Amino acid sequence: MISGLAHIAIVVPDLSKAAYLYKNIFGAEISDQLDLPEHGVSIIKVNLPGCLIELLHPLGPQSPIQKFLDKNPDGGMHHLCFNVNDLSIIKNATQDKIRYLNGGNPKIGMEGKPVLFIHPKDMCGTLVELEEH
Ligand code: CO
């Protein structure tokens, strides 16, 4: 079963502006910008006790979040990520009708840990990422 919320990913049209808002309105602790070309994103992390918010902006022409930003030009919540102890336990425990992206094959996520995404149509419209800890 899931053991907590790992992060919330928010796609933003302007990373500096988003970071400014989180820092200055909420007083949150934010990271420097990190460019992750292997994931097609630039990221600024907002560190909250017990949870992380990832502010994401497309990087490069093949960015997996470009379509989302095209559809949502003001930005918006992209996915939730839950901690799990073992991705295979979730896979085995889940009944059919739940589709995983990437053919159900885990890949290494932005935090350097194995992740798996569940199709948003099978999770009430929300893209859900599972991250193994
Ligand atoms: Co994520």
Q: What pLDDT digit, counting tens, does each position of 85-122 carry?
A: 988 877 666 666 788 898 888 999 988 999 999 999 98
One-letter amino acid of 95: Q
Q: Which of 38, 54, 111, 129 is catalytic?
A: 129
Give me the residues paired with residue 42 across strands: 35, 57
Beta pairing, strands 29-30 & 51-58: unpaired
Residues in the chain: 133
pLDDT of residue 61: 86
Q: How far is CA 17 from the centre of its chain?
A: 19
Helices (H) and strands (E) in the chain, counts: 3, 9
What mean pLDDT comes out for the span 34-62? 95
Question: What distance in angstroms lies between residue 83's CA and the mean position of ligand 1's atoms?
Answer: 11
Q: Report pTM.
A: 0.91
- Model confidence band, residue 10 (pLDDT cutoffs 50, 70, 90): very high
Short-list 100, 97, 131, 96, CA closest to 117: 100
Report the mean per-residue pLDDT for the chain. Answer: 92
pLDDT of residue 90: 73
pLDDT of residue 97: 75
Question: What distance in angstroms lies between residue 8's CA and the mean position of ligand 1's atoms?
Answer: 7
Question: What distance in angstroms lies between residue 9's CA and the mean position of ligand 1's atoms?
Answer: 6
- The full set of domains in the chain, from first to last, is 2-132 (3.10.180.10)
pLDDT of residue 71: 97
pLDDT of residue 88: 81
38 in catalytic set: no
pLDDT of 70 higher than 70: yes
pLDDT of residue 95: 61
Short-list 64, 76, 72, CA closest to 102: 64
Ligand 1 ion: Cβ-proximal residues, 5 Å cutoff: 9, 81, 129
| Whole-angstrom distance, CA of residue 33 vs CA of residue 119 | 28
